[in-house]
Amino acid sequence: MDREANLREAASHVYTREAVPVGWAMVQDELGIAYSRLPSRDREANLRQAIACHEAALQVRTREAFPVDWARTQHNLGLAYSSLPGGDREANLRQAIACYEAALQVRTREAFPVDCARTQHNLGAAYSNLPSGDREANLRKAIGCYEAALQIFSSEHMDNYSQMATGNLEWAKGELQKLTQPQQQLPPTQQLGQEIS
């Protein structure tokens, strides 16, 4: 475990759920982020630990009591599920989609535009990476999410995020065009669908 994760793990022993539930939930969410970022060999084990931490945080960070923190933790949980390299890819991405959609109930464009854009972008990535189901419908959903994110990133002058969203949007449109116009020879497109943490 790296230094950041060690510090957060130590903090979770100081902020116990019983003594300081809000602080404990914050540490659990941050610990989940740290596990998600660990560059060790067992990526899946780290992400499963991250998921456990985020889910623990949600026991205290309910939508009713702490809506903003709840939405942030839902977003982080979606990132962990969408990054899982093993297991049932379809189920993991469906879980990520559910987390992102939950987060967007609070992370609206009006209230939290940048957070909304980040979550919309990641929702688009999850839809574009779904390995089965109605590919055309999934790509259309991904395109809608990327377009919504791009509008906000552009209006907020977030050029790096705008470039990533533009690249993913172009890729999704290219993939959709291949599905709906298969007779045309289209140039190959790179798999993008990258997420923003």
> pLDDT band at residue 11, thresholds of 50, 70 and 90?
low
Vertex 42, ends 23 and 5: CA angle to 5°? 25
Confidence at residue 74, expressed as pLDDT on a 0 to 100 scale: 98
Confidence at residue 197, expressed as pLDDT on a 0 to 100 scale: 73
Report pLDDT digits (tens) over 48-99.
999 999 999 999 999 999 999 999 999 999 999 999 998 899 999 999 999 9
Report pLDDT digits (tens) over 126-157.
999 998 899 999 999 999 999 999 999 999 99
**CA dist 75 to 5, 13, 112, 179, 185, Å?**
20, 25, 13, 30, 38
Q: What is the pTM of this model?
A: 0.86
For residue 112, give the amino acid letter: F
| pLDDT higher at 118 or 20 | 118
31, pLDDT greater than 70: yes
